[in-house]
Structure 1
Amino acid sequence: MNKILYYIITTLCTFIASPVLAQQLVGAWKLTAADKILPNGQRVADYGANPHGIAIFTPDGHYMVEIYSSDRKPFASGDRKKGTPEEYRDAMLTMSCHFGTYEVDTVRNRIRFHIDRSSYPNSDATTRENDFSIKDSQLSWQVPPRPNGDIPVSVFTRIR
């Protein structure tokens, strides 16, 4: 009987909490940290000491995320079509942007990003799930591990 009662209560709480958690995500968020957890467990800055970025989640399920390093270098030529290979490489590796639609799995505390387009072309037309949490006015999520084992972590503060 206790197991049945537990199941009923847990299920009801999930259905009651689901819309609330999803609604808490809606809005605009300013990036406050773009870190990575190294395979040894150490957490370090991934996009410099003062990264810039924003995440926006609409009530109808659309989103956009932009993350930029604090140390981006301008192209010496002043023309985006005349960068050197090193300048293009640096530009690509100092940003992470994507947009599309999203779903919230409130049972597992996960955001499912249906990525339309990304600054990394291999992510175009893919789906990615991230563990996330919202506490007070702070949103954070972890990206699945990179091939080298690093785990990116993004932290945002609510703008409105």
Structure 2
Amino acid sequence: MFGSDGRYSLVGVRANLPKFASGNRLLGTADENAGIAQGNVAHFGTYTVHTNAHVIVFHIQRSTFPNRAGDVQRRPFTIDGDRLAYVTPGRFGYGRPRLCGNE
């Protein structure tokens, strides 16, 4: 989500995350917790758009991957009609996703 105030939030979740056998996320096994940690990422902060260069710049304030807090990340983007798409240069732990808005 991109706000008109220059703030954003991003959540990436793998479609086949494992369910917790206990039904309680606080009681996950080591394998369940690893599957969840490797299958999602979220972060929020501020963003700027460089339209001529087709780049979104994320200024990450906090992330579910704490090592990213304080990072500045640049993402090339395309716009097709009302659809925004960009490719992450790294991995969410399960591939190189192409992220699209308005799906």
TM-score interval, smaller chain: 0.7 to 0.9
User: 1:70 pairs with 7, 15, 18, which one?
Assistant: 15
TM-score normalized by the length of structure 2: 0.86
Residue 136 in structure 1 maps to residue 59 in structure 2? no
Partners of 1:142 and 1:72 lie apart in 2 by 21
Between the aligned partners of 2:23 and 2:96, the Cα distance in structure 1 is 34
Give the Å deviation of 1:79.
Answer: 2.1
Q: Which runs of 4+ in 1 moved over 6 A?
A: none
Flag the structure with larger Rg: 1
Which aligned pairs between 1:70-109 and structure 2 lie closer than 5 A? 70-109=15-54
CA distance in 2, matches of 1:67, 1:151: 12
Identify the match of residue 68 of structure 2 among 104, 123, 130: 123
Work out the CA distance in 2 between the residues paired with 1:77 and 1:124. Answer: 31
More helix by share: 1
Structure 1 residue ranges without an equivalent (≥5): 1-55
2: distance between equivalents of 1:145 and 1:82?
30
Cα offset for 1:145? 3.8
Q: Give aligned-pair identity as a percent.
A: 33
CA drift of 1:157 comes to: 1.6
Normalised to the residue count of structure 1, the TM-score between the two structures is 0.57
Unaligned runs of 5+ in 2: none
Matched, 1:155 2:100: yes
Shift of 1:113: 0.2
Question: 1:60 and 2:5 equivalent?
Answer: yes
Taking only aligned residues, the RMSD between alpha carbons, in angstroms, comes to 1.6
Deviations 1:59-101 (A, max 9, x none): 1100011121221222112222221111011111121211110
Secondary structure of residue in 2 paired with 1:87: helix
Taking the aligned partners of 2:60 and 2:25, their CA distance within structure 1 comes to 25
